[in-house]
Amino acid sequence: MEECIFCKIAQDKIDSEKIYENENTVSFLDINPRAPGHSLVIPKKHVKNLINLDDEIVSELFKVTKKVEKLLKSSIEPDAFTIGINEGEEAGQEISHLHVNIIPRFKRDGGGPVQSVVKNPPKKEISKIGKMIRESLKINKTHSK
Ligand code: 5GP
Ligand code: ZN
């Protein structure tokens, strides 16, 4: 993926404010921070979303997210954190390289909880939705046998 800006950051082809790096992941400050210390954690391998990331790297990505959170807690000293992934264009993903946002939060910073990014409550009762999801799990299990 020659064009991808986050691949270029991972490969040190363009500058970034890196704050942590290991074999498979890297963390750097967001260029357009929503809060002081707003950081991104990415796998070095180009994948668009979690589903396409190998399980071992998924766990590493979240271990590094925890490390960076601790690092920001001790340096920036926020009151809280919002941690999230925009997955897919409809969810606001502009850079198609998976990235975890770690956003330090402060008292009266004007932000809301992650649930405030969408207001689209379902028409069906959640018991029906739960049943539908469990049914699809059964179907998927049968198909993967
Ligand atoms: P998305 O909307 O794809 O979830 O978020 C992309 C994030 O990457 C945005 O917060 C944006 O500010 C950040 N970003 C985009 N380009 C660059 C860049 O070249 N360097 C850095 N450090 N951050 C970037
Ligand atoms: Zn990439």
Which one-letter amino acid corresponds to residue 71? Answer: L
Q: What is the pLDDT of residue 137?
A: 85
For residue 55, the CA-to-ligand 1 centroid distance in Å is: 24
For residue 109, the CA-to-ligand 2 centroid distance in Å is: 31
CA 63, 66, 111, 44 dihedral sign is: negative
Which residue, by CA, sits nearest to atom 21 of ligand 1?
Answer: 31
Annotate the chain with DSSP letters as a single string.
Answer: -TT-HHHHHHTTSS---EEEE-SSEEEEE-SS-SSTT-EEEEESS--SSGGGS-HHHHHHHHHHHHHHHHHHHHHT--SEEEEE---SGGGT--SSS--EEEEEE-TT-S---GGGG-----SS-HHHHHHHHHHHHHHHHHHT-
Contact in structure between 132 and 125 (CB atoms under 8 Å): no
Could you tell me the two tokens for 53?
A: 């990331």
**Which domains, ranges and CATH numbers included, belong to the chain?**
5-118 (3.30.428.10)
Could you tell me the two tokens for 102?
A: 């770690």
Ligand 1 atom with minimal separation from the 94 CA: 3
For residue 114, the CA-to-ligand 2 centroid distance in Å is: 25
Catalytic residues: 99
Q: What is the pLDDT of residue 145?
A: 57
Q: What is the pLDDT of residue 143?
A: 67
Written as tens digits, the pLDDT of the chain (145 aa) is 558 999 999 999 999 999 999 999 999 999 999 999 999 999 999 999 999 999 999 999 999 999 999 999 999 999 999 999 999 999 999 999 999 999 999 999 999 999 999 999 999 999 999 999 999 988 877 766 5
Q: What is the pLDDT of residue 100?
A: 98
Q: What is the pLDDT of residue 141?
A: 74
Asked whether 30 lines ligand 1 (CB < 6 A), one says yes
Hey, which of 15, 30, 42, 100 would you mutate to test ligand 1's pocket, going by the most ligand atoms within 8 Å of its Cβ?
Answer: 30
| Residue 61 burial (C-beta neighbours within 10 Å; 0-12, 13-18, 19+) | buried
